[in-house]
Structure 1
Amino acid sequence: MKTIIQCICLLLALTVLISCVQEPEVFKTNKSDYDHFLVSGPLKTIPANLQFEVEANSDSMQLPDLWNLTDDNMQIFKETGDVKFLKNSAKTLKKAIEMATIEKPGFIRALSNNYMLQHRFKEALLLAEEARALGTDVEATQSLLFDLHMELGNYGLANKYLDSIKDVSSYEYLVRLARWNDFKGHSDSAIKLMEKATEKAEISQNEDLLLCSYVHLADYYGATGHIEKAYKLYLKALQISPQDANAKKGIAWIVYSYERNGIEALRILDSITQKNKSPEYYLLKAEIAAFIDDDMLRVQALDDYYKMAGKNTDYGDMYNAHNVDFLLSMDVEHRAYELAQEEVSIRPTPESYGWLAYSLLHLGEKEKSMKVIEEHVIGVTHEPAILQRAAEIYKANGKQDKVKALKEELLGATYELGPIKEAEVASL
């Protein structure tokens, strides 16, 4: 009898142990961690009349004044998403380039970076080449050329520029090597490199580097399923810059995609859009609204996006890819196809070709669509959203073996794709 009781106790103990192993504690976000960051605070810089200051005082302003004015405009652009401040920063830099002598390469690189943000990539490349010809701060220029060629889809050239700045003690090199590894699908290596870069940023105590490092590393963590680590880093970023839109968006995405709490994710997004008017936040609002079956909110968010990006020429080519997506969702296939062609001519990346192929599919050109993805997408990128569209194209062409292979890969990227796209992947 004693032996039987001992066996029962042992089995119960094993059952408890197994249940503990099988049911680990699930990570959850906590509103109290970030609620105080959702209160809209004042801008760091008052924007009143700032966009006119260069024209009004161009004759009397010195280079340090122009540099400070450039920085002020960029800070306001980051906080508000108002493109006029990005463009005013470019005007200021042009004036500084006219005046500068020794400092000229630095101002040229800054203008090139500005144009990159505006998606004026070819003009940005010309400026970078001009800075390289001047021969000073070579590493900074080579780093810029790496960034540009990555944006332009010239990956062979990008890799050469990356090799030219190789220095494992350099923050700038580590960040770019992490990006290269992420592009190549080597996620673990990308994380290790970004962790090293973040350590260097923490030693430097440079707030701009810290903010950038925390958000980038958090993005890498999230994509690889390290959700709690990502969440903690977004919070650390907000401690540095309480109004940082990227960090808030990161938390909103965790709440939406990981916790499936659309209502709370929308509350976080609302705190961003009170101040930051970047159009992409309204597309995300529309997606989350669709997830919670709020069709009125979805339509309003899409209308807000169209008014801001679809009709507003101030953004230039900055939202071409988003606009293709928007137009296809509105069944405006021919315009979407034309815009996708324009984007490919500006920026021939796998993403651009992916949208071109997807617009062809919507036009009923499924064979042409498949040819585009096989020539320019498959084997080039590991981005889940692009590969999902490729899988749909393969499905339309009856290539079930290729659909199956992509589906297996995409099921491991459900956090990046989000609940709506996850359901679409499941139906492939």
Structure 2
Amino acid sequence: MKLLKNITLSISLLALLISCNSKSDVVTNSKDYEVYLQSTTNNDLKETQREIDFWQKKYDNAPNQKSYLGILASNYTKLFDITANIDYLIIAEKNLLEVNEAYKYSKVNNIRSLARNYISQHRFNEALELANKALAIGEGLNETHKLLFDVQMELGNYKEAESHLNSIDNKKEFDYYIRIAKWNDHIGDLETTISFMEKAKIEAEKYSNKHLKIWTNTNLGDYNGHAGKIKEAYQYYLNALAIDPNNSYALKGIAWIAFSHEKNTDEAIRIINQISKRHNSPDFYLLKAQIAEYKKDNDKKVEMLNSYFNSIDNKEYGAMYNKYNVLLFAEEPQSLSKSLSIAEEEVEHRPTPDSYDLLAWTYFKMGEKEKALEIAKQHVAGKSFEPKLNYHLAEIYKANNELDKIKPIKEELMNSLFELGPNYEEKIKSL
């Protein structure tokens, strides 16, 4: 009887421990963000639309005042950020082309604005051409160095990017802090990345700049998540929402915590469904497809992927979703030729480790494991700290029987499970 009592007590204690551990894994609380999910008023959207109406009328009444087009472009870009409607980004581009042509590409502010529009569209080489044009004019060099850093990082020209970073005059300003943070993230120093982003947050708060405060909080949410600091990440997303109750990016970050960390698929889907009503980004279908895969609901996964492809069936998206498309096409034998074609295009236009990874992974999926290994060794290995790239690298090593190289990558990948998502856990374990 005493033995049975001890066993019962041990089981009870074990159940209590399991319950405590389970509760400690839960970071989110719907009471923290429900008000933001139910928000039906978007003051930023209304204000931006009012600004567009105001400046459009002014321009219609004085079409010789081409500077109004730059203001209109800025507001259409805001509208794109708020709604994810690609048409607004294209309208902004058209306005910027017109104002630049009117001034014969002589005003650096307008040139840089068009370059940034092209960055958003993933037209990086065109952005670089414009940035160099601004550099040649010589006016406002500090801002042009910032732009060139951004473009060269996107193109994988890291030496040139570092040179422009070092050319920024003020090393204690917001714009420098966010770029040195990005540089440290590129070289794999996440702790220093977070430190600089926290300095940027202080600068944003000092000047009470709403947009920059939101931006730093959401970035700190992302970086802390990558570092495994899930509670901190969650709080930064909540901070962003306190400033902008309609911030879809922060809510998506919370949905990812619910899915990847807590495995609460129902809550993740609920959040995504709510924010999709006001910010209809194709990315959301991909997230819902990942969740369906985790739930082993293949019909729902196929439905979400079809919805994704339907949502990007607009030529205006250009190369913006090439990365996702390569990886999706590579999963199906009948679409491998599409995957290869897009991957080759990406390498040609943007020869980064990311682009070469797409090419190597496509060849791996085609069964050309030696060719995949050659590309990966030359252009990916040791050149990126992105978990998905290193997962692909490990799979390619495994296929080529270079097993000694897998163990250190595997350990890093297990530490990056939050960033990769729960669908990768079994894949990593089987490496």
Q: CA deviation at 1:129?
A: 0.5
Residue type at the aligned position of 2:350: R
Q: Could you say if the C-alpha distance between residues 89 and 411 of structure 1 is closer, same or farther in structure 2, counting changes exceeding 3 Å?
A: same
Q: 2:121 aligns with which of 106, 118, 122?
A: 118
Does residue 300 of structure 2 align to residue 297 of structure 1? Answer: yes
1:346-384 per-position Cα deviation (integer Å, ceiling 9, x unaligned):
111111110100000111110000011111111110000
Give the secondary structure class of the aligned counterpart of 1:228.
Answer: helix
**Does residue 222 of structure 2 align to residue 219 of structure 1?**
yes
CA-CA distance at 1:59 after TM superposition: 6.1
What residue in structure 1 maps to residue 130 of structure 2?
127
Give the conservation status (yes or no) of the 8 Å contact 2:26–2:262: no
1:389 aligned onto 2:392: yes
Q: Does 1:282 align with 2:285?
A: yes
Moved more, 23-32 or 261-270: 23-32
Question: Are 1:177 and 2:180 counterparts?
Answer: yes
Q: Structure 2: how far apart are the matches of 1:256 and 1:293?
A: 14
What one-letter code is carried by the residue in structure 2 that aligns with 1:312?
N
Deviation of 1:65 (Å): 2.6
Residue 72 of structure 2 is aligned to residue 73 of structure 1 = no
The equivalent of 1:418 in structure 2 is 421
> Which residue number in structure 2 is paired with residue 358 of structure 1?
361
Work out the number of aligned pairs and report it: 406
Matched, 1:248 2:251: yes
Between the aligned partners of 1:25 and 1:252, the Cα distance in structure 2 is 18
Q: Distance in 2 between matches of 1:328 and 1:389?
A: 12
Once residues 376 and 105 of structure 2 are traced to their aligned partners in structure 1, the CA distance between those partners, rounded to angstroms, is 47
Identity %: 39
CA contact (8 A) 1:283 1:301 kept: yes
- 2:9 aligns to what? none
User: 5 Å matches for 1:141-180?
Assistant: 141-165=144-168, 167-180=170-183
Superposed displacement of residue 64, structure 1: 4.9
**Which deviations, in whole Å up to 9, do the C-alpha atoms of 1:301-354 show, x marking residues without a partner?**
101111122x32220111111111121233311110111001111111111110
Q: 1:393-420 CA deviation, whole Å, 9 max, x = no partner?
A: 1111111111222111111111111100
Aligned partner (choices 314, 319, 339) of residue 316 of structure 2: 314
Residue 58 (structure 1) shift: 9.1
Superposed CA deviations along residues 139-179 of structure 1, whole A, max 9, x for unmatched, are 11001000000000001111111111153311111110011
Does 94-103 or 125-134 show the bigger shift? 94-103
**Unaligned segments of structure 2, at least 5 residues:** 1-12
Q: For residues 225-272 of structure 1, give each alpha carbon's deviation from its aligned partner in whole angstroms, at most 9, with x where no partner exists.
A: 111111111111112222222111111111111111111111111122
Letter in 1 for 2:330: L
- Candidates 342, 347, 351, aligned match of 1:348: 351
Aligned partner of 1:32 in structure 2 is 31
Residues 183, 382 of structure 1: 8 Å contact kept: yes
1: CA distance, partners of 2:207 / 2:94: 31
How much does 1:297 deviate?
2.1
Aligned to 2:10: none
Q: Is the 8 A contact 1:94 1:111 kept in 2?
A: yes
Greater displacement, 156-165 / 287-296: 287-296
Contact 1:280 1:322 in 2 (8 A): no
> Aligned partners of 1:249 and 1:308: how far apart in 2?
18
Q: Give unmatched runs, 5+ long, in structure 1.
A: 1-14
- Cα distance in structure 2, aligned partners of 1:359 and 1:88: 35
- Distance apart, 1:386 and its partner CA: 0.8
Match of 1:190 in 2: 193
Kept in 2, the 8 Å contact 1:248–1:272? The answer is yes
Residue 324 (1) aligns with residue 300 (2): no
* Cα pair 1:47 1:76 within 8 Å, conserved: no
- The answer for the alignment partner of 2:91 in structure 1 is 88
Matches within 5 A, 1:226-265: 226-265=229-268
Q: Relative to structure 1, is the Cα distance of residues 124 and 102 closer, same or farther in structure 2, using a 3 angstrom cutoff?
A: closer
**Equivalent-residue separation in structure 2 for 1:46 and 1:160 (angstroms):** 39
Q: Which ranges of 4 or more aligned residues in structure 1 deviate by more than 6 Å?
A: 47-50
Letter in 2 for 1:318: M
Aligned with 1:329: secondary structure? coil
- CA deviation string 1:78-137 (max 9, x = no partner): 122111110110111122223448981011101100001101111100100111111111
C-alpha deviation, 1:49, in angstroms = 10
The code of the aligned residue for 1:421 comes to: Y
Normalising by structure 2, what TM-score?
0.89
**Aligned counterpart, 1:7:** none
Cα displacement string for residues 170-205 of structure 1 (whole angstroms, at most 9, x for unaligned residues)? 111111001100110111111111111111111110
TM-score under structure 1 normalisation? 0.89
Q: What amino acid sits opposite 1:188 in the alignment?
A: E
